[in-house]
Amino acid sequence: MTTRNTAVRTSLDTHRLPNPVPIGEYERCPVTDVLRRVNDKWTLLLITLLGRHPYRFNELHRAVEGISPRMLTRTLRTLESDGLVEREVFPTVPPSVEYRLTPLGVSLLEPLAALADWAVDHHAEIATARQRTT
Partner DNA sequence: CGGAATCCCCAACGATACTG
Partner DNA sequence: CAGTATCGTTGGGGATTCCG
Site residues for DNA per CB under 7 A: 40-42, 56-59, 66-71, 73, 76-77, 87, 94-98
Q: Which does 111 bind (CB under 5 to 8 A by kind): a copy of itself, DNA, none?
A: a copy of itself
Binding mask 95-114 for a copy of itself (x = CB under 8 A): ---------x--xxxxxxxx
Question: Burial, 109: exposed, middle or buried (Cβ in 10 Å; 0-12, 13-18, 19+)?
Answer: middle
Contact criterion met (CB below 8 Å) for 54 and 105: no
Binding residue for a copy of itself (CB under 8 A) from 58, 73, 87, 123? Answer: 123
- 29 class by beta-carbon count within 10 Å (0-12 exposed, 13-18 middle, 19+ buried): middle
Residue 84: burial class (beta carbons within 10 Å; 0-12, 13-18, 19+): buried
With CB under 5 to 8 Å by kind, the binding choice for 45 among DNA, a copy of itself, none is a copy of itself
Determine phi and psi for 55, rounding to 5 degrees.
-130, 150
CA quadruple 109, 114, 117, 118: dihedral positive or negative?
A: negative
106 binds, among DNA, a copy of itself, none (CB under 5 to 8 A by kind): none
List interacting residues with a copy of itself (CB under 8 A). 5, 8-12, 14-16, 19-24, 26, 30-36, 38-39, 44-45, 48-49, 51-52, 62-66, 80-84, 104, 107-120, 122-123, 125-126, 128-130, 132-133
